[in-house]
Chain A
Amino acid sequence: MKVAVNEGHDVRNFVRTLVMEKGYEKAELIPFLHEINGEFGYISDIAIQELSDRMNIPTSHIYSVATFYRMLSTEPRGRHVIQFCESAPCHVAGGRLVWQKLQEVLGLKNGETNEDEKWSLLTTSCLGVCGVGPVLVIDHDIYGNVTPEQIPDILSHYE
Chain B
Amino acid sequence: MKATRSMVLVSSDPESLDLGALEVFNTLQKQIAAFGLEEEITLSMISDVSKKTQNPLVLVYPEAIIYGAVTPDDVPHIVEEHLYKGRIVEEKQISAYDLTGRIAWLSARKGTLPAENRIVLKNVGVIDPESIDEYIINQGYEALGKALKEMTPEETISIIKNSGLRGRGGAGFPTGLKWQFVSATKGNKKYVICNADESEPGTFKDRLVLEGDPHAIIEAMSLAAYAVGADEGFVYIRGEYGLAISRMAKAIQQAREYGLLGESIFGTDFSFDIHIHVGAGAYICGEETALIESIEGNRGEPRSRPPYPTTAGLWQKPTVVNNVETLANIPAIIRNGADWYKSIGTPSSPGTKVYTILGNVNVTGLIEVPMGITLREVISIYAKGMKNGASLKLAQTGGSSGSIIPASLQDTPMDFDSFSKAGVSLGSGALLIGDENVCAVDLAKVLLNFFREESCGKCNPCRIGNHRAYETLVNISEGIGSMKDLDDLQMLSHQLYELSNCGLGQTAGSPLYDILAHFRAEVEAHVKLKVCPTGVCPMSGHREYQII
Known: A88-B201, A131-B364. A30 touches B443 (CB 8 A): no
A92 contacts which of B241, B296, B298, B443 (Cβ < 8 Å)? Answer: B443
In the complex, are the beta carbons of A126 and B203 less than 8 A apart?
yes
B434 contacts which of A30, A33, A92 (Cβ < 8 Å)? Answer: A92
Residues of B within 8 A of A86 (CB): 446, 449-450
Number of residue pairs A-B, CB distance < 8 angstroms: 121
Binding site of A, secondary structure by majority: helix, strand, loop or mixed?
helix
In the complex, are the beta carbons of A126 and B280 less than 8 A apart?
no
B203 contacts which of A26, A65, A91, A128 (Cβ < 8 Å)? Answer: A128
Interface residues on B, range: 35 or more
* A114 CB → nearest B CB, Å: 23
In the complex, are the beta carbons of B199 and A126 less than 8 A apart?
yes
Binds B, one of A9-17, A69-77, A147-155: A69-77
Scan residues 263-294 of chain B and give those whose CB is less than 8 A from a CB of chain A. 277-283, 294
Q: A129 at interface (Cβ–Cβ under 8 A)?
A: yes
Known: A34-B280, A88-B396, A126-B202. A65 touches B450 (CB 8 A): no
Give the number of chain A interface residues (Cβ < 8 Å). 37
Q: A148 vs B314: C-alpha distance in the bound complex, in angstroms?
A: 46
Q: B200 at interface (Cβ–Cβ under 8 A)?
A: yes
Q: A26 vs B314: C-alpha distance in the bound complex, in angstroms?
A: 13
Residues of A within 8 A of B77 (CB): none
Scan residues 94-145 of chain A and give those whose CB is less than 8 A from a CB of chain B. 96, 124-133, 140
Q: A72 vs B238: C-alpha distance in the bound complex, in angstroms?
A: 13
In the complex, are the beta carbons of B204 and A130 less than 8 A apart?
yes
In the complex, are the beta carbons of A68 and B299 less than 8 A apart?
yes
Q: Give A contacts to B, CB under 8 Å.
A: 25-31, 33-34, 57, 61, 64-65, 68-72, 86-89, 91-93, 96, 124-133, 140
27 of the cross-chain contacts (CB-CB < 8 Å) are: A26-B296, A26-B297, A30-B297, A34-B239, A69-B280, A71-B239, A71-B240, A71-B280, A72-B280, A86-B446, A86-B449, A87-B446, A88-B201, A88-B446, A92-B358, A92-B434, A93-B359, A96-B536, A124-B281, A125-B199, A126-B201, A126-B203, A128-B198, A130-B204, A130-B430, A131-B364, A132-B364
Q: Give B contacts to A, CB under 8 Å.
A: 198-204, 207, 238-242, 277-283, 294-300, 356, 358-360, 364-366, 396, 400, 430, 432, 434, 438, 442-443, 446-447, 449-450, 453-454, 456, 536
